[in-house]
Amino acid sequence: MSERPPKPPRQECWDRRMELPLAVASLAYLAGYAVRVLARDHLPRLGVDLCVGVVLGAWAVFVTDYVVRLRLSGLHPLRFVRTHLLDTVVLLLPLLRPVRMVALYDRVQRRRGQPRLGLYARVMVYSGLSVSLLGFTAALTVYHHEADAPGATILTFGDSVWWACATLATVGYGDVTPVTPIGRTVAVGLMACGLALLGAVTGSFSSWLIQAFTREDEKPGNGERPPGDFPGAS
């Protein structure tokens, strides 16, 4: 939502042309990984190879896009990495890429001149979509690394989804928890998302209340009772 400096025309052109391929590659990556993880016991040898191929192919698309954008920007590689930190992280952890599609959806809608949603609706839709995608991805990754670990409590994908939900809501029952280093690292990332989600929900409600109060305050015949007293504060 911030205004960046205008990009050079060739870069702009490349970005726009790559939108669709990148979105397809993102979904292919996620789908390939999901099939590989979820159907691992029932997948024939060929299916496994196919999944791995799709995943690697999608990754190749990401790397190509990154390299071309680095070239077009005309920046020194190190400087490019520093100014495009998020892109670099997504390049190394491509499972996070589908989350970027939430921003893409916004950009496409704006270009088509469709009326945008209200601010609160947008915050809710974006945080809802992002959190669902992140939760699914985290559940996949944790299930992948935990299922065969000794002493694991996350034994099925259902357990993993259940754990991800309890973590995102910062409830954290602790009946199933990751035990491997990779699973716990993913869990820490998911906790950070949960904190951000809490911030988004709370912040939305808080700013909506403040605004509703301001509007009520400006109404003329609002004489019965000042609405600003906190109930119970005497």
Q: How far is CA 176 from CA 94, 142, 157, 166, 183, in A?
A: 26, 12, 12, 10, 12
- Rule CB under 8 A: say whether 208 interacts with its own copies: yes
The span of 18-26, 35-43, 66-74, 182-190 binding its own copies (CB under 8 A) equals: 182-190
Task: Give 78 or 85: the residue with its C-beta nearer to its own copies.
Answer: 85
Convert 192-230 into a string of H (helix), E (strand) and C (coil).
HHHHHHHHHHHHHHHHHHHHHHHHHHHCCCCCCCCCCCC
Residues with Cβ within 8 Å of 48's Cβ and at least 6 positions away in sequence, in order, are: 36, 40
Please tell me the distance from the alpha carbon of residue 146 to that of residue 181, in angstroms, as a whole number.
10
Closest separation in Å from C-beta 31 to its own copies: 23
Closest separation in Å from C-beta 41 to its own copies: 20
Q: Among 215, 219, 220, 221, indicate the residue that binds its own copies (CB under 8 A).
A: 215
Secondary structure (3-state) at 234: coil
Task: Give 48 or 75: the residue with its C-beta nearer to its own copies.
Answer: 75
Site for its own copies in 57-86 (CB under 8 A): 86
- Rule CB under 8 A: say whether 109 interacts with its own copies: no
* Residues at the site binding its own copies, with contacts judged by CB under 8 A: 1-2, 4, 86, 103, 115-121, 123-124, 158, 162, 165-167, 169-175, 177, 181, 184, 187-188, 191-192, 194-213, 215-216, 224-234
